[in-house]
Structure 1
Amino acid sequence: MYVLVISLGDPVSRTFLEVAPDMPLVETRGGLEIRKFRDVPVVVHRGDPTEFGNEEVLASLGRHAIFISRHEMANPRPLFTVHTPGGWPDVSVAHPHLVSSLYRSLCRGAYEPFSCAFEATHHPPNTSAVSATFIEVGSTEREWRDRKAVETLVYVVEEVTGRELERRPSAMVVGDLHYVTVADMVLRGDVDIGHVVPKYVEISLGVVQTAFRKHVTSVEKVFLFRKNVKNPARAEIVEFLRGSGVEVVLKG
């Protein structure tokens, strides 16, 4: 069901390999190693997580890919993050229940000085056959090589992939900040959030339709930040969503 992606060009992935239980080699496919983390297949490649392009290999091993990655930010601080990837205007397939379960588990496991954040959809890869979710440690070299911090990722991945996923109503967010301001609803268990269209992308009906359709489950609710989505696009988006039977919650 799940498949992990470990990227040797990424320091958090390399630390994950150091601190995780033994991952025996199963086979090699071209330049890729196929290993096992408990019962979960692992694809190890030599590049950066954002450069991974062998979706057909992921699809042959599982339906839902979890990428182990570093997190970077302009004003660095110790941080655990999750998000769905997507290089706008296209995006990956989102798994709201998986990314939200990982977020809840990360927040439960966060310790001083770390906090946790749910990020908007950003950066490649863009998938179409499998869902993709990033789980990250940030935000400097010190944290990327912090064994305790990365052990938290190991624990969270093992916990979430080893049990039945919690399933709340699937939701999407349009026009929020990069660090999602409505993530407290995920922690309360009100909703599971998939794609978040941030305010800094060119938000159009087409962009929202693409993100809306690339979820593993039907989106039931959309939170739309009206001040950050200008008309006529806002009116078109609301009409499309309501016409699709979705509850639209206007924010801001």
Structure 2
Amino acid sequence: MPVLIYSFECPAGRNIANALLPRLKPAPKSACGAHELPTWMDGRGIALIEFNKRLSSEAEELSALSLPQDELVVFLSRHASKEKRPCFTVHAAGNWTQEPNWGGRPGELAKTSATALAAAIQSLQNNCLQGFTVDLEATHHGPTNLSWSSLFVEVGSSETEWQNQTVCAVVAQACLAACNPIYATEKQVAIGIGGTHYCPKFGKLEGKEYLFSHVCPKHSADYLNAGLLRQAIEKTVEKVDCVVIDWKGLSSQQKLKTKEICESLSIPTERA
């Protein structure tokens, strides 16, 4: 039973949920510790749950939900940036650093699914609106402690997009697509290392040569070590085939360090 979760405090999340509600029916509330969360279900067993706190920094409380260990959770959320450019973004959760910035436990990555990420991105690309971009983002923020695989599907980057029901309906469709990923197994599942936060090099390869799960950008690569890369591999639901390095998106020292870490874990590397 895939689960879609949004925060009532997030305007984009509410509007994405509003786009889904016509196909859903009210269901018994979901117990989450001492709280009961509003819940809706569709005929295929997909649940929508309303949370009342910020997803990126406070959703670790959701670990109290009673869900199967192999569950997939899709977070419906907003994306914000200084540029405020219209975009759709998809990413896994995690904190590569040792700082508690933006949520996520320091040095901890969330469990995720490369095929679900790819399915969401393909849906957004197929239904993309004029003036919008579709971006695979680097792994960032929380929650990182959930025992189920998860991903964020977002609309950005300002109140204008968050409050636009047509825009949010595109994200709603992508969230449903993530719940039923259909990808051929011949594509390699990969961890991406290097490049900027918006991963332009990996975004061009996504769904074509590779299906990416966790991505470590250049600004976090100095924190990368064998333990973190092992986490990225082990917390990807699918078997990871290789690490793809954005060769021009790392310093010489970072490239050398990344190669050494991959060799220590016997994981193949490929250049992008």
**1:73 equivalent among 72, 81, 84:** 81
Relative to structure 1, is the Cα distance of residues 185 and 58 closer, same or farther in structure 2, using a 3 angstrom cutoff?
farther
Q: Which residue of 2 aligns with 1:225?
A: 246
**1:195 is paired with a residue of what secondary structure?**
strand
2:25–2:40 CA contact under 8 A, matched in 1: yes
Q: Deviations over 1:159-179 (max 9, x none)?
A: 443464554321011122100
**1:136 equivalent among 136, 148, 154:** 154
Relative to structure 1, is the Cα distance of residues 6 and 200 closer, same or farther in structure 2, using a 3 angstrom cutoff?
same
Relative to structure 1, is the Cα distance of residues 207 and 62 closer, same or farther in structure 2, using a 3 angstrom cutoff?
closer
Say which is worse superposed, 23-32 or 81-90, in terms of deviation. 23-32
Q: Which residue of 2 aligns with 1:185?
A: 205
1:203 matches 2:223: yes
1:3–1:58 CA contact under 8 A, matched in 2: no
How much does 1:140 deviate? 0.4
How much does 1:49 deviate? 1.7
How much does 1:61 deviate? 8.5
Structure 1, unmatched stretches of 5+, are none
Q: Percent identity?
A: 22
2:139–2:215 CA contact under 8 A, matched in 1: yes
Letter in 2 for 1:90: E
How much does 1:230 deviate? 5.3
Say which is worse superposed, 164-173 or 115-124, in terms of deviation. 164-173
1:34 matches 2:54: no
**1:158 is paired with a residue of what secondary structure?**
helix
Relative to structure 1, is the Cα distance of residues 117 and 163 closer, same or farther in structure 2, using a 3 angstrom cutoff?
closer
Q: Which residue of 2 aligns with 1:216?
A: 237
Relative to structure 1, is the Cα distance of residues 57 and 47 closer, same or farther in structure 2, using a 3 angstrom cutoff?
same
Q: Which residue of 2 aligns with 1:172?
A: 191
What TM-score do you get using the length of structure 1 for normalisation?
A: 0.89
Q: Distance in 2 between matches of 1:133 and 1:216?
A: 12
Relative to structure 1, is the Cα distance of residues 37 and 144 closer, same or farther in structure 2, using a 3 angstrom cutoff?
farther
Q: Distance in 2 between matches of 1:113 and 1:58?
A: 40
Kindly report the root-mean-square deviation, in angstroms, between the aligned alpha carbons of the 2 structures.
2.3
**1:176 is paired with a residue of what secondary structure?**
coil
**1:124 equivalent among 129, 142, 149:** 142
Alignment coverage as a number of residue pairs: 249
**2:245 is paired with a residue of what secondary structure?**
strand
Q: Distance in 2 between matches of 1:111 and 1:128?
A: 33
1:16 matches 2:16: yes
1:173–1:195 CA contact under 8 A, matched in 2: yes
Letter in 2 for 1:55: S
1:197–1:208 CA contact under 8 A, matched in 2: no
Q: Which residue of 1 aligns with 2:59?
A: 52
